[in-house]
Amino acid sequence: MKERLVVIPTYNEIENIEAIIRKVFSLPEPFDILIVDDGSPDGTAQCVRDLQHDFPSTGPSHRLHLLERRGKLGLGTAYIDGFKWALSRGYRYLFEMDADFSHNPDDLVRLYHACADEKPDRADVAVGSRYIRGVNVVNWPMGRVLMSYFAGVYVRFITGMSVMDPTAGFVCYRAEVLEVILHNPIKFVGYAFQIEMKFTCWKYGFRIQEVPIIFTDRTKGVSKMSSKIFKEAVFGVLQMKISSFFRHYIPRRESVAKMEESVDAI
Ligand SMILES: Nc1nc2c(ncn2[C@@H]2O[C@H](COP(=O)(O)OP(=O)(O)O)[C@@H](O)[C@H]2O)c(=O)[nH]1
Ligand SMILES: [Mg+2]
């Protein structure tokens, strides 16, 4: 059954890609993987193609998929393309995770259980959060920790949303959440993309739960964070808040009911 899919965007992750794929497939619970690679010049996609012989995408478990794009088009659209790919194939739980081991793949299981059907008080979206029990960031330079922490303070102040780690990129979404929010154009690329996704979920009334994680700086490969991405986040949050005044968000239950109605009508 196509249950859980981890979408991993990659740009020049040759030093991490094989290890992260093998680690996810060694977890005690099954997760499929979709790598969204933007034509990495270091051959990341070729490494994935080679691994597909060990974990074919048509296999009964541990399926490894690859979506290749032509050039570096940014993290935001990589996730959106990945999510659309997954929704059209019937996956029920979709995960965002970096390729560089900053997110510990072991935590995928905890994110999943926060959203899984088994719990009556389950979340719709589970966010792997660095800042709900102190500051759980290992090996980042102090400047980057402070920037990330105060980005959260700024986002909460502007948006009114109470999420402690709004720029987090380690997330589990139930499929029905993405079915609703991807109807709207999501326009940002970097950290602003992560903020916009959570903000849109929150505006629709979806239940967001933060799950504490420890984030560790990458030990291999280089970060693609840039000042452009930083600026996009600073101005993007303001822009996003202002445009939200002109948008109508149908609350979650109504929109889900509407989707069910339209299915019945077919
Ligand atoms: N497909 C794709 N992946 C990207 C792009 N930019 C970054 N990534 C991937 O997104 C993840 C997070 O990027 P990273 O450089 O670690 O950012 P940082 O953790 O904020 O320093 C990593 O898996 C990157 O390889 C991009 O333009 N396209
Ligand atoms: Mg990283």
Pocket test for ligand 1, best of 98, 213, 228 (most atoms within 8 A of CB): 98
Q: Which amino acid is at 241?
A: K
Which residue from 232, 222, 245, 162 is spatially nearest to 193, judged by alpha carbons?
A: 232
61 versus 219: the higher-pLDDT residue is 219
Provide mean pLDDT across the span 22-43: 97
Phi, psi of 201 (to 5 degrees): -60, -45
Is a pLDDT exceeding 50 seen at residue 262?
Answer: no
Instruction: Tell me the per-residue pLDDT of 237-256, one tens digit each, with 9 for 90 and over.
Output: 999 999 999 988 877 655 55
Pocket test for ligand 1, best of 6, 11, 13, 47 (most atoms within 8 A of CB): 11
Is a pLDDT exceeding 70 seen at residue 260?
Answer: no
pLDDT of residue 266: 38
* CATH number of the domain bearing residue 219: 3.90.550.10
Give the position, in ligand 1's atom list, of the atom nearest the Cα of 222: 15
Is a pLDDT exceeding 60 seen at residue 257?
Answer: no
Please report the beta strands in the chain, taking only residues with DSSP state E, as ranges in sequence order: 4-10, 32-37, 64-68, 93-96, 125-129, 137-138, 171-174, 208-212, 215-216
The number of domains in the chain is 1
Q: Give me ligand 2 centre to Cα 157, in Å.
A: 26
Instruction: Tell me the per-residue pLDDT of 39-56, one tens digit each, with 9 for 90 and over.
Output: 999 999 999 999 999 998
Q: Give me ligand 1 centre to Cα 9, in Å.
A: 6
Provide mean pLDDT across the span 66-95: 96
Give the position, in ligand 1's atom list, of the atom nearest the Cα of 72: 27
Query: Which ligand is nearest to the Cα of residue 190, counting in written order?
Result: 1
Which structural domain, as residue segments, surrounds residue 244? Answer: 4-265
Is a pLDDT exceeding 90 seen at residue 62?
Answer: no
Instruction: Tell me the per-residue pLDDT of 130-175, one tens digit each, with 9 for 90 and over.
Output: 999 889 999 999 999 999 999 999 999 999 999 999 999 999 999 9
